[in-house]
Structure 1
Amino acid sequence: MKVLKFGGSSVATPPRIQNVIEVLKPYLKEEIAVVFSAFGGITDTLIQISTLALEGKAAYKDKLTEIEKRHLDAVRELISIQKQSSILAQVKIKINELEDVLHGVYLVKERTPRTLDYIMSFGERLSAYIISEAMKDQGISASYLDARNVIRTDNHFGYAKVDFEVTNKLIREHFRNKKEVQIITGFIATAETGETTTLGRSGSDYTAAIFAAALQAHDLEIWTDVDGMMTADPRLVKKAFTVPQMSYEEAMELSHFGAKVIFPATMQPAMVNKIPIWIKNTFNPTFKGTVIHAESTNGKLIKGISSMNGITLLNVQGSGLLGVVGVSMRLFATLARERVNVILISQASSEHSICIAIESTLANHAKRAIEKEFQNEIRNEEIDEVQIEGDLSIVAVVGDGMKHSPGTSGRMFSALGKNGINIVAIAQGSSERNISVVIRQSDVAKGLNALHEAFFLSDRKVLNVFLVGTGLIGNSLLQMIEDQFVKLAKENLLEVNVIAIANSKRMLFNEEGLTLKRGIEEMKVKGEAMSMMGFVDRMITLNKTNSIFVDCTSSEEVTDCYERILASNISIVTPNKKANSGSYEKYYSLKNVAFQRGAKFLYETNVGAGLPVINTLNDLLLSGDKVISIEGVLSGTLNYIFSTYTTGKKFSDVVKEAKEKGYTEPDPRDDLSGKDVARKILILSREAGLQLELDQVSVQNLVPEDCQGDMSVEQFFKKLERHDASFEKLLKTAEAKGEKLRYKAVLREGKVKVELGSVDSHHPFYSLSGSDNIILLTTERYHERPMVIRGPGAGATVTAAGVFADIIRIGHYAK
């Protein structure tokens, strides 16, 4: 014997019902029984209709008409015309019966749990009857069985307890001489007093298990709309996959904490009788699915991660709890009397507080009951007023493999912590099969994805990137991500997923990830108006794991959002110098927020484009070294100008040439002013531990006074020509000494200068050429021979490469 059960989604429409019949046909060679739920959505509609009737709203009649039409239409579509009339009449009789009950609720304005159970029973009674007749019409020997005839329960309406001794006897007697395939109503039963009861929402699974146990079936198959038990909710975790097999205990834990594929009570009859439970997909019938049986044998540390929303924590605390015997008994007895189910319990060893998690709908009722029970202790200030914290969820990591496996909880808490998810409460049973944590409901999707990566995709991390700035650097970065995508996944086990891009005018989001080749063009066409606050709001609301905000602009408006972004546990990578070269207070605040929130704030490209300057400096300081001085040529543009400027050339012509080659800013005065170099040396000074402000940096402005002010670039170049002689004089003076001009930044003895000077042939700056940058770090360890860092210091490609390296660095940290 094999028992199969099909859920509401599997029989939601006539085509789906026909599909189920096709699935069943190969099974007809063996002995089977089939349990059906109500048509998809019908049970919820019946509850809604009864609520309308209870409220005295005549609109319930319209909803009832819709239910009637849906079932009559199913008969007309599934059954041949010549056989329809009697079946339509039977359906109509059931609908009339339902109408009478609802009319009574409407008149008396009362709906008892007993009445509601009776109303809900019509869903299964109609669906199983229609499907049995459709099967008969196709030549299948089938017979309709109302489970109320054989399943006996107590009269706990809404969630009745089965009397297995009587039920098993009735089921076996019924099947003794039945050769037809029994088409059974799920979910419903009969109390010993004769009233209709229900086995709890999703109780059709339970019905199937009851029949399987009574008939000693060799298999129980639960057919639903997913490919078995998943590692996590696939609606929230896109990379979730099917678990091939798990133990009864693992499945019970997962289903209790929100995995809706199987009803928790289903496991008990199957477990007692050691009947394997198969979870299969009606819409993918060839897929093997998941088998739930006695042993968990595939060696995985955990089998799944599930969540339960709508949770409230109640905290009972006070000095009166310490060492007092019977407090817990009184607390839980009170909740039991009030029919409040406790989902999770957490108590510190100090005994100062007991924390319990319950459904949010019962929170206020539970609070009043507890405070009434402990009113004397509260009055005497031995126990505080019960504290309530809502909008929470429970996330549970489940697996038999966790037993005696050190590090499981560490991996769990590390994954949540690195993604800024605060744990409100923790519980772990002595079986070591389940570690449950309470977190904010708004963090559920992020938490599930973080844990899924940590336990199931630990060999690969997904980095979710939000990019602002699609100019030369941003564009180059996107190209690099695309070019390196396969290599990153294969060699670095990182997947960079660009969720959003924006420029100063438009922004485009795609939660699944943008197509990099067409991303910028799509943004220009499909993007919405750009608002920096709106961009940040959306990014924070998405609450993605391993989120990285990349700022490839030079905008201060963007840097003004950094603190909020870091405070939301989103890491930042940026070549934008405005944040770190603004006020020291802002610089320190950003570093502090990043540290406190566990987010990364990486800005290697602030100083030397792709050169490893800041990381090298920080590594020296972390190892205990001390900076004596820093010297640097920190502008690729100015180095190109002064390494190209030789006798016979005009200074203004060299600057024009640099602009034409794209080395300068659109207005070369931005480079010649030295402000950019000043910002870079200020950042290095701060990294070295000095609390300096930008106005404390002495800067030589190379823009002649009459070339400053409001004028076009063309006007600037005309005026600059008048100063060629003065620059030529500086050049000849240097050459006469056998030296070369270099625009240098120097930090020494706590003072910072940026100026044009000359260096002799023994100086490391002498041989510098092109747009290279060079930095000399003189430290206590590197005193006689300073550490030299040299390489390309300008250009979108090298800067984008530095940004990309910082993104990858965060990816390795996330592991």
Structure 2
Amino acid sequence: MTQTQLNVEQSNATSFDAVTENHLAKHAIQVHKFGGSSLASSQCINRVLEIIKSHCQINDIIVVSANGDTTDHLFSLYQLAQEQLQASLEEQDPRPLEAAVAALSKQQQALITELLNANNAKQLIHSLAADIEQLKAWLTGDLSAHHNNILAFGELWSARLLSALLNEKLCPSNSIDARDFLVIDNEVDCLVDTATSAAQLRQHRQFGKLAVITGYISKDERGHTCTLGRNGSDYSATIVASLVDARNVTLWTDVDGIYSADPRIVPSARKLHRLPNGVAKELGRLGNPVLHAKTLLPLINPLTEHHTHLHVASSFDAQVAGTEIGKFGQIAKQELSVTYLNDLLLAHSESFIGEAANKVRAEFAPICVDDKQGFVVITQAQQKALSQWLASHDTEVKFNPVSIIATVGHKVAERGDIKARFKRSLRSVKPLHLVNSDNSHSVIAILSEPCTPEILNNVHHDMTKDARHIGLVVAGLGNIGQRFLELLPSQLAKVEALENTHLVGLLSSKKALINNDGIDVNQALSLFEQDSQGYDNQQLLSWLSHHPYDELIVVDITPSEDFSLLYEQFFQQGIHVIGANKWAASSSTAHYNNLIQQAERHHSIWLGNTTVGAGLPINFAIDDLRHSGDEINQIAGIFSGTLSWLFETYDGSTSFSSLMLDALQQGITEPDPREDLSGRDVQRKLLILARKAGFELSLDDIDCQNLVPEHLQALDTQAFLARADELDEFFADQLARANADNACIRYVARLQATPQDDSANGLKLTAKVSLEVLAKTDAFANLTPCDNIFQISSRWYQDNPLIIRGPGAGRDVTAGGLHSDLVNICQQLASKQNQVKIKGIN
């Protein structure tokens, strides 16, 4: 990497357009904010450096909080100084304050010396020493006049250090004190003077340098230092984004997203991958621990209609996709969450009835208002101001301590089913009141007692137990893929396990349609024809790695070996795979074992029941026997529907080549019938079943009889078909020999595990697929043409083998088998819980 350009990675692509047009993203400004926990130590700061290297470009903007608990230390210093000033002359002892200042200085020096080379560290330590002297002067002087200046040091030191580190190790950078450009009206409303602030920010940004800006602090119109409240650096980041019309803001913090409840209290909380702006604002207003109440206000510019997307991600696990806040479709609007606030007051007054309540809304922005019953809910800090305001209106007020618990989601107050469920979830709590928020994005229950962890967990369980969202990507839109999609609407409507499953991707070999807001399953193929775009594997993986769903399932209905090679990367991203594609399951032993290990390591589910037997439950039966403790010692049968049809039909009345060409016309064989006659397909199917049964072997361990003479194997398809009659003599001879013994010919697969003490595992394996002469009474001799038959012998099924028989090919049964796998996976995922990643907990 050069010193003038950073690597760029579109870490939160939200649509296939965003992936395919990544070059446009490289010219759009993005803002990255790093919280105090992300900058708490030299190790954390080096991790931030790697995030900047991977996710930023030179014209982006970095906003920082104070390192670790620096702001808390500064608050403590201020309080110590106050105590010292208030003490009598005899009781004043400057030593605790001096010691605390020295400890803070030592902590900052340690960060500097651990991260920077000696020369750069010397310069920063010199600047720090000057600041410490200024800090001492303010702490022992006119304390109240410099409260905000004292608190501002944390962000100032953090920005200065990160900028110096970037200059030394990564790219040109300059640190900017937000007080040099960011102008607000006051610390209560924090309304930004946008024109002045934007103009002054342009003056301080330097071309070709990555800007590092202090969060949390600003100035008022008189030039006095102001703060934006605790966690105000998030608000700083979105303000800066609005000033430069940034495309994205990412809040890098110690949690990997916004959850359906506080995950520190509710272990079953699930990540909300995408939140509409209005819902996120309501969550912030009602106490979500990640969202600052005012953070979301600047994200939509009413003049330019520019929408900035907000992401919340973890700096401790930057590869995990976080939560995105923006403008989304119906799927994101279905998300539900539960939040709470304790230590509130319920205030009753006549001034809260009717239109008069609007004045209270405007003046105090209460948690909730009921203008019919005449009450509001406010914070305890607002009690005095509200009392004084009502006194000026000569109105009495009655206060009662309360708490609230709320269900939050897009227009939930207008959804009768959600409100009814919320009421049922509160049946043991008996709330005082149930109130709709003014924006309809929440239903708020007012409780007479504090909201306990038990109440929160119970309500969260009742409200979100069926809210898990699963994205579905279908690869392969041929005959079977089309039938799978034709069946999908009715399956989604009638199968409970698929309730929150959404079709979000369609792939052919050359084109893709990806839509995070869902693809209408009733128009899937026509929408694909209309809107699909060209893609490559890198673009596909880029989108899949940042999908906005609790789980993602790829249904592979392709015959492509290249596509099967993507499975390893799918599994590494925790993506589940349903494969009708045989390549992965019959690949080399080393590759297959690696796929199994990757799937297990990343908790991915890999089902492939349609790789053998179409919709027949042969894979399921073998799995069930093994998991139940049985031991399989023999698998045999007729595994090819094409060869089943050919040899059940071939009686010598017509030549074999004529029969084969007729099957080709009917679509029974592959476009090149040698794919069937070679036996390779049967060989792969036997390998897949053998591995399912717990045997380790490779394709080369299975003897395969190729029914195509060697001199016809290398021809192109048309040349082979023109000379197909050269097959006739061999098959006529085989049939004649069988008829002489009152027998028949069938293409059979056999695997035998024979006990043998001198072998490594006590078993000798023999496996082959070949043309056999069978008695006409044999179980494999009398099948309906195209049928498959599977015979399993085991410790339990020794004398009377288990037989599974039925159609082994066909678009309906294969598509049905894929849907069976889909329901199976969704049922398994229903009880799955993803680990919440929070610094200090995990």
TM-score range, shorter chain: 0.5 to 0.7
Structure 1 residues not aligned, in runs of 5+: 1-37, 60-100, 121-157, 159-167, 189-199, 221-227, 251-273, 297-398, 404-430, 437-450
Q: Which of these residues, 279, 292, 302, is aligned with residue 445 of structure 2?
A: 292
Asked if the contact 1:580/1:586 (under 8 Å) is kept, the reply is: no
- Matches of 1:614 and 1:464 in 2, distance apart? 25
Asked if the contact 1:503/1:530 (under 8 Å) is kept, the reply is: no
- Matches of 1:636 and 1:728 in 2, distance apart? 21
Asked if the contact 1:461/1:811 (under 8 Å) is kept, the reply is: no
Q: Which of these residues, 161, 164, 186, is aligned with residue 363 of structure 2?
A: 186
Q: State the partner residue of 1:640.
A: 645
- Matches of 1:618 and 1:181 in 2, distance apart? 65
| Residue 474 in structure 1 maps to residue 481 in structure 2 | yes
How far residue 707 of structure 1 moved from its aligned partner, in angstroms, is 1.5
How far residue 56 of structure 1 moved from its aligned partner, in angstroms, is 10
| Residue 529 in structure 1 maps to residue 534 in structure 2 | yes
Closer, same or farther: CA 245–538 of 1 in aligned 2, 3 Å = closer
Pick the structure with greater CA Rg. 1
- Matches of 2:768 and 2:796 in 1, distance apart? 24
Q: Which of these residues, 472, 485, 493, is aligned with residue 486 of structure 1?
A: 493
Closer, same or farther: CA 658–111 of 1 in aligned 2, 3 Å = same
- Matches of 1:526 and 1:231 in 2, distance apart? 37
- Matches of 1:673 and 1:585 in 2, distance apart? 25
- Give the counterpart letter for 2:641 in structure 1: G
How far residue 186 of structure 1 moved from its aligned partner, in angstroms, is 2.6
Closer, same or farther: CA 720–237 of 1 in aligned 2, 3 Å = farther
How far residue 801 of structure 1 moved from its aligned partner, in angstroms, is 0.9
| Residue 46 in structure 1 maps to residue 192 in structure 2 | yes
| Residue 692 in structure 1 maps to residue 697 in structure 2 | yes
Closer, same or farther: CA 648–55 of 1 in aligned 2, 3 Å = closer
Q: Which of these residues, 756, 759, 773, is aligned with residue 758 of structure 1?
A: 773
Higher relative contact order (CA 8 A, sep 6+): 2
Closer, same or farther: CA 590–46 of 1 in aligned 2, 3 Å = same
How far residue 456 of structure 1 moved from its aligned partner, in angstroms, is 2.7
Q: State the partner residue of 2:635.
A: 630
- Matches of 1:205 and 1:772 in 2, distance apart? 79
- Matches of 1:502 and 1:698 in 2, distance apart? 36
- Matches of 1:590 and 1:637 in 2, distance apart? 30
- Matches of 1:212 and 1:558 in 2, distance apart? 70
- Matches of 1:573 and 1:659 in 2, distance apart? 29
Q: State the partner residue of 2:736.
A: 732
- Matches of 1:235 and 1:585 in 2, distance apart? 52
How far residue 526 of structure 1 moved from its aligned partner, in angstroms, is 0.9
Larger CA deviation: 754-763 vs 236-245: 236-245
Asked if the contact 1:217/1:275 (under 8 Å) is kept, the reply is: no
- Give the counterpart letter for 1:585 in structure 2: A
Task: Summarize deviations over 1:254-309 as a string: whole Å, max 9, x none.
Answer: xxxxxxxxxxxxxxxxxxxx996844335x7xx9x73532358xxxxxxxxxxxxx
RMSD across aligned positions (CA): 4.8
Q: Which of these residues, 603, 611, 616, is aligned with residue 606 of structure 1?
A: 611
Q: State the partner residue of 1:557.
A: 562
- Matches of 1:724 and 1:238 in 2, distance apart? 74
How far residue 761 of structure 1 moved from its aligned partner, in angstroms, is 2.3
SS of equivalent residue, structure 1 residue 723: helix
Q: State the partner residue of 2:793.
A: 778
Asked if the contact 2:744/2:781 (under 8 Å) is kept, the reply is: yes
Q: State the partner residue of 1:420.
A: none
How is 1:452-467 mapped onto 2 (pairs within 5 angstroms)?
455-456=462-463, 458=465, 462-467=469-474
SS of equivalent residue, structure 2 residue 780: coil
| Residue 111 in structure 1 maps to residue 287 in structure 2 | no
- Matches of 1:554 and 1:115 in 2, distance apart? 58
How far residue 504 of structure 1 moved from its aligned partner, in angstroms, is 0.9
- Give the counterpart letter for 2:445 in structure 1: I
- Matches of 2:446 and 2:584 in 1, distance apart? 58
Q: Which of these residues, 591, 594, 602, is aligned with residue 597 of structure 1?
A: 602
Task: Summarize deviations over 1:314-358 as a string: whole Å, max 9, x none.
Answer: xxxxxxxxxxxxxxxxxxxxxxxxxxxxxxxxxxxxxxxxxxxxx
| Residue 793 in structure 1 maps to residue 808 in structure 2 | yes
- Give the counterpart letter for 1:812 in structure 2: Q
Task: Summarize deviations over 1:628-673 as a string: whole Å, max 9, x none.
Answer: 2111110001110111111211000111111111111111111111
Closer, same or farther: CA 707–187 of 1 in aligned 2, 3 Å = same
Q: State the partner residue of 2:720.
A: 716
Q: State the partner residue of 1:548.
A: 553
- Give the counterpart letter for 1:111 in structure 2: T
Asked if the contact 1:244/1:291 (under 8 Å) is kept, the reply is: no
- Matches of 2:618 and 2:474 in 1, distance apart? 24
Q: State the partner residue of 1:514.
A: 519
- Matches of 1:685 and 1:245 in 2, distance apart? 49
How far residue 595 of structure 1 moved from its aligned partner, in angstroms, is 2.1
- Matches of 1:702 and 1:239 in 2, distance apart? 65
Asked if the contact 2:413/2:443 (under 8 Å) is kept, the reply is: no
SS of equivalent residue, structure 1 residue 728: helix
How far residue 486 of structure 1 moved from its aligned partner, in angstroms, is 2.2
- Matches of 1:579 and 1:114 in 2, distance apart? 55
- Matches of 1:605 and 1:766 in 2, distance apart? 24
- Matches of 2:787 and 2:815 in 1, distance apart? 16
Q: State the partner residue of 2:828.
A: 813
Task: Summarize deviations over 1:75-132 as a string: whole Å, max 9, x none.
Answer: xxxxxxxxxxxxxxxxxxxxxxxxxx96642xxxx43459999xx9xxxxxxxxxxxx
Structure 2 residues not aligned, in runs of 5+: 1-183, 206-218, 236-293, 295-346, 366-377, 754-764, 831-842
- Give the counterpart letter for 1:290 in structure 2: V
- Matches of 1:618 and 1:498 in 2, distance apart? 28
SS of equivalent residue, structure 1 residue 638: helix
Q: State the partner residue of 1:767.
A: 782
> TM (normalized to structure 1)?
0.52
- Matches of 1:720 and 1:623 in 2, distance apart? 48
Q: State the partner residue of 2:25.
A: none
- Matches of 2:586 and 2:414 in 1, distance apart? 41
Q: State the partner residue of 1:586.
A: 591
SS of equivalent residue, structure 2 residue 513: strand
Q: Which of these residues, 606, 619, 632, is aligned with residue 624 of structure 2?
A: 619
Asked if the contact 2:412/2:419 (under 8 Å) is kept, the reply is: no
How far residue 783 of structure 1 moved from its aligned partner, in angstroms, is 1.1
- Give the counterpart letter for 2:487 in structure 1: M
Q: How many residues align?
A: 488
- Matches of 1:115 and 1:597 in 2, distance apart? 40
| Residue 576 in structure 1 maps to residue 581 in structure 2 | yes
Task: Summarize deviations over 1:473-506 as a string: whole Å, max 9, x none.
Answer: 11111111123332224xx563432111110121
- Matches of 2:656 and 2:726 in 1, distance apart? 10
| Residue 704 in structure 1 maps to residue 709 in structure 2 | yes
How is 1:258-273 mapped onto 2 (pairs within 5 angstroms)?
none
Task: Summarize deviations over 1:522-543 as a string: whole Å, max 9, x none.
Answer: 2222112132332232123114
Task: Summarize deviations over 1:549-598 as a string: whole Å, max 9, x none.
Answer: 11000112211111221222221111101001011112112222222222
Task: Summarize deviations over 1:147-170 as a string: whole Å, max 9, x none.
Answer: xxxxxxxxxxx9xxxxxxxxx9xx
Asked if the contact 2:491/2:498 (under 8 Å) is kept, the reply is: no
- Give the counterpart letter for 1:657 in structure 2: D
- Matches of 2:434 and 2:192 in 1, distance apart? 30
- Matches of 2:572 and 2:385 in 1, distance apart? 50
How far residue 615 of structure 1 moved from its aligned partner, in angstroms, is 1.1
SS of equivalent residue, structure 1 residue 465: strand
- Matches of 1:115 and 1:463 in 2, distance apart? 38
- Give the counterpart letter for 1:810 in structure 2: I
Task: Summarize deviations over 1:4-23 as a string: whole Å, max 9, x none.
Answer: xxxxxxxxxxxxxxxxxxxx
- Matches of 1:236 and 1:510 in 2, distance apart? 24
SS of equivalent residue, structure 2 residue 512: strand
Q: State the partner residue of 1:231.
A: 407
Closer, same or farther: CA 204–51 of 1 in aligned 2, 3 Å = farther
